[in-house]
């Protein structure tokens, strides 16, 4: 089992969510985060004084998948989220050791 | 020392009352700012606040320099041409020109600020700023001159009746809002290619409702104050105003509840305002039951109007066109139906209705053309709409340099980095989350 995590532009979330639904993903978790990669670090003013915008608002999407599905999920997210401009974000895959469905106690692949 | 006569006391009372009413109407600017902020997204909140702040500032200056003279100065049936910068002799009965101006400028600013809501989240600040001058310098004053300034509508037919400005203030703002929204185009993502309407929810229902209450309180200056005298009739005016507001809120709630299965809070707030806009023309001419009817009809009407404008893909984030334009027109026509003297329902025939209709139509035609030309000219010269990137990111940072929310956490790290040069260019430790 794997966890696919993506950090994306907030505006692309709807497209990614619809695309994931389209390939049969039944659940995702979304959180609002701040971050920077190559984007960011520009100067603005507030009441005449300068400040640096270090962090940009992003969204983090997490999807649990069984082993076979991880690649497809990565491709789907990448395609739906891409705008071609710096700041599109990243997707990565990590191993998951154990998944439990809390309501029923089902384990691992049955819990997905 | 000369004795204070009863007439002097009345004059002083009139002045105090009208100025107090003016302050209530000026406070409506806060109401508009809150309603518009509450019904739009957080990423553009500083921008909508700025537009509300500056359309007041620009509007007052424009009305002082030019607009007041066009509205109330001596001239012809179409416009005034004397009294620039408030100079010259004025006769407003017991009120001096300062009192009268402060009261009237509050109304001018109300007409101007209606438009920012319909054009929210996608209009360049500088373009809106230019518009603010134009509407209070020229478009609004011309309509005022035709009506309250003694111009052609005031003597047309049975005499056009618009006591506190359903048409003169609210429809002027509402139709300008319509042209602005039309010429701007809808927000990105509002209407899908297959014809669906997507909700773009605002970021604060509490703002929207508190703003509505502030507007309600302000209306006690708007309507009773328009008597321009401390006269017992102001109580009757305050009563019809109150009844219409509540009937509007009730009927809007019932209507949207029936249509969608839920009593939508924003729509209920719009309904209360619709009732107020609707009664504004006839507040001194209709009975209490008439006020309930007018408010109630306006409350239902505003719901259908909001749904209609979405169906024809005119994106109005706060319902300004429906509340002020449509219900302003209705309230004006309603005088012809419900006026205790001259109304159709009191056996006085259609004459007043006809006069009201001419006024409504004339103002609609004039404002749509004038505002349309204005917005087209702005679009062709300095541009009207922000870029797509800016609209998606939110207007606050690119238009004004700082977000309305979260500026303290966004900028907080900079001060630390600047104080310690070895940290410059590297991310600082995240601030503790409270």
Whether the CB-CB separation of B280 and B110 falls below 8 Å is answered with no
In a domain, residue B411? The reply is no
pLDDT for residue B432 is more than 50: no
Q: Which residues of A touch B401 (CB under 8 A)?
A: 44-46
pLDDT for residue B431 is more than 50: no
Compare CB distances from B410 to A41, A45, A55 and report the shortest one's residue.
A55
Total Cβ atoms within 10 A of residue B382: 12
Backbone angles phi, psi at A4, to 5 degrees: -95, 120
The CA-to-CA distance between both ends of chain B, in Å, stands at 66
Lowest mean pLDDT among A67-76, A84-93, B176-185, B334-343: A67-76
In our burial notation (b when 16+ CB lie closer than 10 A, e otherwise), range A83-94 reads: eeeeebbebeee
Per-block mean pLDDT, blocks of 10 residues, chain A (112 long): 95 94 92 82 80 85 88 96 92 94 91 83
Total Cβ atoms within 10 A of residue B91: 8
Whether the CB-CB separation of B388 and B395 falls below 8 Å is answered with no
Contact B392 A51 (CB under 8 A): no
pLDDT at B401: 87
pLDDT for residue B428 is more than 50: no
- When comparing pLDDT for B406 and B237, which is higher? B237
Our count of domains for chain B comes to 1
Contact A51 B428 (CB under 8 A): no
In a domain, residue B118? The reply is yes
Rounding to the nearest 10 degrees, give the CA dihedral for residues B312, B314, B320, B322.
-10
Q: Which residue has the tokens 């014809």?
A: B195
Whether the CB-CB separation of B93 and B40 falls below 8 Å is answered with no
CA distance B401 to B211: 26
Whether the CB-CB separation of B38 and B205 falls below 8 Å is answered with yes
Partnered with residue B339 across adjacent β-strands are B286
pLDDT for residue B420 is more than 70: no
pLDDT for residue B31 is more than 70: yes
* CATH code for the domain in which residue A23 is found: 3.30.70.120
Compare CB distances from B402 to A11, A36, A46 and report the shortest one's residue.
A46
* CATH code for the domain in which residue B203 is found: 1.10.3430.10
Question: What pTM was estimated for this model as a whole?
Answer: 0.91
- Give the confidence band of B207 by pLDDT, cuts at 50, 70, 90: very high
Range of the domain at A95: 2-111
Q: What ipTM was estimated for this complex?
A: 0.79
CA distance B358 to B170: 17
In a domain, residue B419? The reply is no
CA distance A32 to B89: 62
pLDDT at B422: 57
Q: Which residues of A touch B413 (CB under 8 A)?
A: 52, 54-55
Total Cβ atoms within 10 A of residue B198: 12
Whether A102 has its CB under 8 Å from any CB of chain B: the answer is no
Whether B392 has its CB under 8 Å from any CB of chain A: the answer is yes
Angle, CA B180 vertex, CA B179 and CA B186 arms, to 5°: 105
CA distance A41 to A39: 7
- When comparing pLDDT for B373 and B426, which is higher? B373
Mean per-residue pLDDT, B191-203: 91
Lowest mean pLDDT among B32-46, B354-368, B407-421: B407-421
The CA-to-CA distance between both ends of chain A, in Å, stands at 9
Find the radius of gyration of the CA atoms of chain B. 23
Whether the CB-CB separation of A77 and A91 falls below 8 Å is answered with yes
Mean per-residue pLDDT, B159-165: 97
Q: Which residues of B touch A36 (CB under 8 A)?
A: 427
Total Cβ atoms within 10 A of residue B427: 14
Q: Which residues of A touch B399 (CB under 8 A)?
A: none
Mean per-residue pLDDT, B348-376: 97
pLDDT for residue B424 is more than 60: no
Q: Which residue has the tokens 């700041």?
A: A87
In a domain, residue B397? The reply is no
Partnered with residue A57 across adjacent β-strands are A34
Q: How many CA atoms lie within 13 A of B268 on its CB side?
A: 16
In a domain, residue B400? The reply is no
Contact B402 A36 (CB under 8 A): no
CA B89 to chain CA centroid, nearest Å: 30
Distance from CA of B48 to the nearest CA of A (A): 17
pLDDT at A39: 66
Angle, CA B62 vertex, CA B318 and CA B398 arms, to 5°: 50
In a domain, residue B231? The reply is yes
Which of B203, B400, B427 to mutate to test binding with chain A, by most A CBs within 10 Å of its CB? B427
- Would you say the C-alpha torsion B121, B45, B257, B189 has a positive or negative sign? positive
Whether the CB-CB separation of B409 and B431 falls below 8 Å is answered with yes
Which of A55, A83, A87, A88 to mutate to test binding with chain B, by most B CBs within 10 Å of its CB? A55
- Give the confidence band of B408 by pLDDT, cuts at 50, 70, 90: confident
Compare CB distances from A54 to B392, B407, B427 and report the shortest one's residue.
B427
CA distance B144 to B363: 10
- Would you say the C-alpha torsion B30, B39, B188, A83 has a positive or negative sign? positive
pLDDT at B229: 97
Please report the number of interchain residue pairs, chain A to chain B, with beta-carbon separation below 8 angstroms. 33
Which of B389, B391, B410, B428 to mutate to test binding with chain A, by most A CBs within 10 Å of its CB? B410
Range of the domain at B71: 8-191+199-383
Whether B402 has its CB under 8 Å from any CB of chain A: the answer is yes
Which of A52, A58, A88 to mutate to test binding with chain B, by most B CBs within 10 Å of its CB? A52
- Over residues B108-148, the pLDDT tens digits come to 999 999 999 999 999 999 999 999 999 999 999 999 999 99
Shortest CA distance from A58: residue in chain B: B393
Shortest CA distance from B391: residue in chain A: A11
Our count of domains for chain A comes to 1
Shortest CA distance from A14: residue in chain B: B189
Contact A54 B428 (CB under 8 A): yes
């Amino acid at each position: 089992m794997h966890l696919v995590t993506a950090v994306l532009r907030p505006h692309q979330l709807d497209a990614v969510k619809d695309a994931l639904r389209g390939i049969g993903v039944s659940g995702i978790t979304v959180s609002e985060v701040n971050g920077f990669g190559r984007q960011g670090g520009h100067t603005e003013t507030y009441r005449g004084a300068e400040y640096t915008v270090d962090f940009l608002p992003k969204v983090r999407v997490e999807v649990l998948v069984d082993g076979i599905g991880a690649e497809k999920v990565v491709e789907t997210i990448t395609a739906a989220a891409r705008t071609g401009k710096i700041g599109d974000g990243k997707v990565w895959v990590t191993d998951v050791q154990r998944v439990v469905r809390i309501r029923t106690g089902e384990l691992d692949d049955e819990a997905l | 020392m000369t004795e204070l006569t009863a007439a002097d006391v009345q004059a002083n009372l009139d002045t105090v009352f009208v100025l107090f009413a003016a302050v209530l109407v000026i406070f409506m600017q806060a109401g508009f700012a809150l309603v518009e902020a509450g019904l739009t997204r957080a990423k553009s909140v500083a921008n909508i606040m700025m537009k509300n702040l500056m359309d007041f500032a620009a509007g007052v200056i424009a009305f002082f320099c030019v607009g007041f003279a066009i509205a109330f100065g001596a001239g012809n049936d179409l416009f005034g041409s004397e009294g620039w910068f408030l100079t010259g002799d004025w006769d407003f009965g017991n009120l001096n020109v300062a009192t009268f101006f402060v009261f009237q400028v509050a109304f001018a600013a109300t007409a101007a600020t209606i438009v920012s809501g319909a054009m929210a989240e996608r209009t360049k600040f500088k373009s809106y700023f230019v518009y603010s001058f134009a509407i209070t310098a020229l478009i609004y004053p011309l309509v005022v001159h035709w009506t309250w300034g003694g111009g052609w509508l005031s003597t047309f037919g049975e005499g056009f009746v618009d006591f506190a400005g359903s048409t003169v203030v609210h429809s002027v703002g509402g139709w300008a809002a319509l042209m602005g929204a039309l010429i701007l185009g809808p927000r990105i993502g509002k209407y899908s290619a297959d014809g669906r309407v997507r909700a773009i929810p605002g970021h604060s229902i509490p703002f929207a409702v508190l703003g509505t209450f502030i507007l309600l309180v302000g209306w006690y200056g708007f309507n009773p104050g328009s008597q321009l005298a401390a006269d017992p009739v102001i109580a009757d005016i305050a009563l019809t105003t109150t009844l219409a507001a509540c009937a509007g809120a009730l009927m809007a709630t019932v209507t949207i509840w029936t249509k969608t299965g839920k009593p939508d809070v924003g729509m209920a707030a719009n309904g209360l305002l619709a009732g107020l806009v609707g009664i504004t023309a006839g507040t001194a001419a209709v009975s209490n039951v008439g006020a309930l009817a007018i408010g109630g009809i306006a409350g239902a009407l505003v719901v259908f109007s909001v749904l209609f404008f979405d169906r024809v893909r005119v994106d109005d984030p706060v319902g300004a066109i429906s509340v002020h334009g449509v219900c302003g027109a209705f309230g004006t026509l309603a005088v012809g139906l419900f006026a205790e003297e001259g109304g159709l329902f009191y056996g006085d025939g259609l004459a007043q209705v006809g006069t009201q209709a001419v006024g409504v139509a004339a103002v609609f035609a004039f404002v749509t053309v004038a505002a349309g030309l204005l917005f087209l000219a702005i679009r062709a010269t300095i541009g009207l709409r922000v870029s797509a990137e800016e609209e998606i990111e939110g207007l606050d940072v690119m238009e004004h340099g700082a977000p309305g929310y979260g500026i303290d956490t966004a900028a907080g790290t900079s001060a630390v980095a600047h104080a310690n040069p070895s940290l410059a260019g590297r991310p600082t430790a995240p601030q503790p989350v409270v």
